[in-house]
Structures are given as C-alpha cells and as structure tokens.
Amino acid sequence: MSDIASKVGISRQALYLHFPNRADLLVAASRHVDAENEIDRRLVPSRTATTGRERLDAWIEAFGNYIPVIHGVASALLAMKDTDKAAMTAWNDRMLAVREGCAAAIDALATDEELTASMTRDEATDWLWTLLAVRNWEQLCRECGWSQDRYVEVMQQTAARALIDG
C-alpha cells in the first residue's frame, strides 16, 4: 500500500480514503484495466464466430491475449487469495466470468456436434477454464520463455485436439 501511495504521490492513509482495503483497491484496479482495454471489443470475434471451432479459437485468442494485460493486478489478487477472504471472493467472481466464456465456446462446439464424446459439457468447460488459467500463462510465457503468439497458437491447437474428436 505504501509503495502504491508513494508511486501515486499521495500518503498511504489517503489511499485508505479511496479504498477500504487492499483487496478492494486491487479489484477496482482490475475493473479499471478492463474498461481501459475495451474488454467487450476484444470478445466480438468470439461472439460472432459462426462455427464452434472458430468460436473456440477466437475465445482462446481473445482471453489469451488479455492475460498479459491484467497479469500484474491479477497475480497480486491471486497472491492474496489464500489468506484474504475478500480477495478470494473477488477473484472467484472474476474467474467465474472467464468460465462463462469457456462455457460459451464449449456450447458452440456441442451445438456443432463437435464436442468430444469423452467429456461432459461441464467437464470440458472446467478443463478449458483450467488450461487457460493465469498461472499457466505465467509459467509458459514467463518461466519457460514462450512468446505470446506461440502461447495462443499452442493453446488453440491443444484445446481443439483435446476437445474435438477425430
């Protein structure tokens, strides 16, 4: 909090006049990042895709490319999640929205009768949601040194192969 305050150029206490606690500040920051980065515009290709496969690819591309944008605030929130209850529920709310995106892609696949017979819709949604976790992006792009483009490519490809039979 003091780091942020001094960066902003106000006192630590002034920060508490605006945000009741660290978790709320982080949540507000993440919502701000969403607004600044036109989250809705990014999702247009995913929503307007005609086939299930296109929708899956578009969703992975949209969300995959959004991760680096929110990564800073996301990982701060993620780190608090284990100890702070408020951070935990805030993060869960945000991630539930991501799950919705995954569910929509899976539903599109199912409508096209392309969804693998080996998983239920819920399972496929859970799996895709997990694959696209921020921590996984972190591991591949930060620790393993993958480029952002390669990350998106591989995620698209492996998701398609895992979720579509044949």
Partner DNA sequence: ACGTCACTTGACACGGTGTCAACTTGACAC
Partner DNA sequence: GTGTCAAGTTGACACCGTGTCAAGTGACGT
Spatial distance between the Cα atoms of 10 and 108, rounded to a whole number of angstroms: 49
| DSSP H stretches of helix in the chain | 2-8, 12-18, 22-36, 39-48, 52-80, 85-111, 121-131, 134-137, 148-163
For residues 18 and 142, which CB has a smaller minimum distance to a copy of itself in the complex? 142
Restricting to residues 66-85, which ones interact with a copy of itself according to CB under 8 A? 75, 79, 82-83
As to burial, measured by CB atoms within 10 angstroms (0-12 exposed, 13-18 middle, 19+ buried), residue 90 is buried
- Written as six digits, the tokens of 67 are 């991760």
Shortest Cβ 14–DNA spacing (Å): 3
Selected range binding a copy of itself among 4-12, 16-24, 57-65, 135-143, rule: CB under 8 A: 135-143
Interface positions with a copy of itself (CB under 8 A): 75, 79, 82-83, 118-119, 123, 126-127, 129-131, 133, 135-136, 139-140, 144, 146, 150, 154, 157-158, 161-162
Residues that bind DNA (CB under 7 A): 1-2, 9-14, 16-18, 20-23, 84
